[in-house]
Amino acid sequence: MTRSRLRVALALLAAALLVPSALLVERALSGVAAEETARHRAVAERVFDEMERTLSDLVAREEARPVEAWDPTSEARLTELPAEPFVLGYFQIGPDGSVTSPAARDGDAVRAAARSIASAAGRDAPAAGEGKREQAPGTTLSLEEMKPSALRALGSVEKDEKSSVQAASPPAPKSAYDALSSLNRGAEDRQLRQRKMVETPAEAEAPAPEAARADSLERRQQPQRVAVDPLVGRFADPRHLLLYRSVFTESQALRQGIVLDVDGLGAHLRERALGASALPGAALSFSDDAAPAASDGAYLYRHRFAEPFDALAASLQLPPLDGGDGAGTIYALAALLVALGGIGLFAVHRMVTVTMAFAERRSNFVAAVTHELKTPLTAIRMYGEMLRDDLVPSEDKRREYYATITTESERLGRLIDNVLEFSRLERGTRQMQLAVGALGPVVAELAELLRPHAERAGFALHADVEPDLPPVRFERDALLQVLWNLVDNAIKYAARAHPREIAIACRRHGDGVELAVRDHGPGVASRELARIFEPFHRGEAELVRTTQGTGLGLALAKGLVERMGGAVGGANASGGGFEVRIALPRAA
């Protein structure tokens, strides 16, 4: 697999991991948004349910009052008004349309409000202009779910485009929002109310004719049969709400009711629902004039109350409630997932790339070793066959051939020694016989051993050793192999240099000793400087290279020096050429 194909495969793998991860994050964020909306919806349901319970208590109290409480001539008539300031007074409309008020804070206002339904005595006429409503009483909807109603005083409140609004829950299957709405017992109880009927027991038999007069007097003293409808509601005007009921006796039909101040009722409900709650920033209104303005991120709900307050609606704005940093956690986890995925893909890419590069270098090494082995073996075989077949015309040629065979054999031996030495270093089985002593005399001795090899290649070898160098720890055989590889490397890559010189310097460096080998060749390209000590690395492509070698010389030198406790570095020298420096610390 080439590196370009590897990159394509990793890119496809990254896309295959990224797409489902993005879908997973999107679903998680949708879940967080749904949970946040459900939390606000539940709070709104509780607020509206508290108001429904308050209204249910009011209706239950008023419906429990006897019919005689509205009769101004009855001893059981109302004499005091309830403590709630929004109750303006009570009224009764007689069969002839006359309006009486047993108790009122403002009698004129109560009678004026009652006259708005006086003409509809005996009938449950709907409020003027009231059309068919599509929202069931006692339900809570967001503003987008509300249909226009006849209650123009309550109107619809338009939602800001940036506000968050909960959509209507489908009727089936039953959702959590429907379950919450079903807990509104106040609205449910009032919706299930039936007409109450109070009757006297049926007479067992008709009275005798002779007792008719006495029986007539007795029947007038007995309670009459009375049918009482539940309370219904309608607006007399935008400021007054009427709750009234129809009362049917055997002889007449009456309207009995109560007049409520809409603003006072709204204030009372607001106090009961939000007065002691921990909802700072919540706004509740019962009219367009005080409707809460939608703000960024706000949740705005609309609720229409159950009968007899079905003409009344409320708008509730809830600020964003703290429910934990769910979205932030998801984003953090998504970022962590992307980071880990990226690190993993990079690690895979790096590992595979390094493995491929190492395999390529090993392949090049095999090719180089094959070439390096084949060349001296071919020369040795050719000259050996010529000497065997007595094809050498003169003794001088014989000595030349013998020298060539010896040189190629030494070259073959050095190649084998380098391979074996590097193999031992990689396995960690190379045992170093370190000694402490002066490095200068040993370097001078090794330079004399290397000089003939350099001179045969047409190079002059110079050694410059400073006196009185500090003692260091080294192995003579390892140092000889290191210097031989460095000199041989300089000969190969500086073959066209001018002057053809190789300099070996041994000098003091800090508290230790520095050994340097420099040539005057073209140097090393800057992009290759960081890799010249890697195993099997060569600056030339294997198929077009012009120099000999296996790519093990500098790597072997680095490994041996490090086993002696030193360090190796290389740099292009000023004035041209390349220089390898070996630093050995002072021995303790």
Nearest to 307 by CA among 114, 63, 99, 118: 63
- Contact (CB, 8 A) for 460 and 500: yes
Q: Residue 188's pLDDT is what?
A: 56
Q: Residue 250's pLDDT is what?
A: 79
Query: What are the chain's domains?
Result: 26-124+132-201+212-315 (no CATH), 431-588 (3.30.565.10)
Sites in the chain below the pLDDT cut of 50: 120-136, 139-177, 179-182, 193-208, 212, 216-217, 219-220, 541-545
Rounded to the nearest 10°, the torsion over CA 210, 215, 217, 222 is: 180
Distances (CA, A) of 105 to 22, 87, 91, 243, 265: 66, 8, 12, 16, 15
How far apart, in whole angstroms, are the C-alpha atoms of residue 311 and residue 233?
7
Q: Residue 1's pLDDT is what?
A: 54
Tokens matching residue 206 = 């008709």
Nearest to 369 by CA among 405, 316, 296, 422: 422
Tokens matching residue 586 = 């002072």
How far apart, in whole angstroms, are the C-alpha atoms of residue 571 and residue 331?
49
CA angle, 347 then 349 then 353, to 5°:
115
Each residue's pLDDT tens digit, 471-493: 999 999 999 999 998 998 899 88
Nearest to 168 by CA among 192, 147, 154, 186: 147
How far apart, in whole angstroms, are the C-alpha atoms of residue 467 and residue 445?
14
Q: Which string of b and e fits 491-527 if b means at least 16 CB within 10 Å?
A: bbbbeebeebbbbbbbeebeebbbbbbbbbbebbeee
Given the structure tokens 């210097």, which residue do they identify? 483
- Contact (CB, 8 A) for 138 and 45: no
How far apart, in whole angstroms, are the C-alpha atoms of residue 353 and residue 3?
7
Each residue's pLDDT tens digit, 422-432: 888 888 888 88
Q: Residue 534's pLDDT is what?
A: 82
Contacts of 481 (CB under 8 A, 6+ apart): 417, 418, 421, 556, 557, 560
* DSSP calls for 238-279: TTEEEEEEEEE-SS-EEEEEEEEEHHHHHHHHHHHHHTTSS-
| Phi, psi of 584, deg, nearest 5 | -115, 130
- Contact (CB, 8 A) for 563 and 425: yes
- How many CB atoms lie under 10 A from the CB of residue 548? 14
Distances (CA, A) of 432 to 199, 424, 425: 122, 11, 11
How far apart, in whole angstroms, are the C-alpha atoms of residue 182 and residue 110?
36
* DSSP calls for 517-561: EE--S----GGGGGGTTSTT--SS-TTT--S---S-HHHHHHHHH
CA 222, distance to chain mean position in Å, is 79
In the chain, DSSP finds a helix count (H) and a strand count (E) of 11, 18
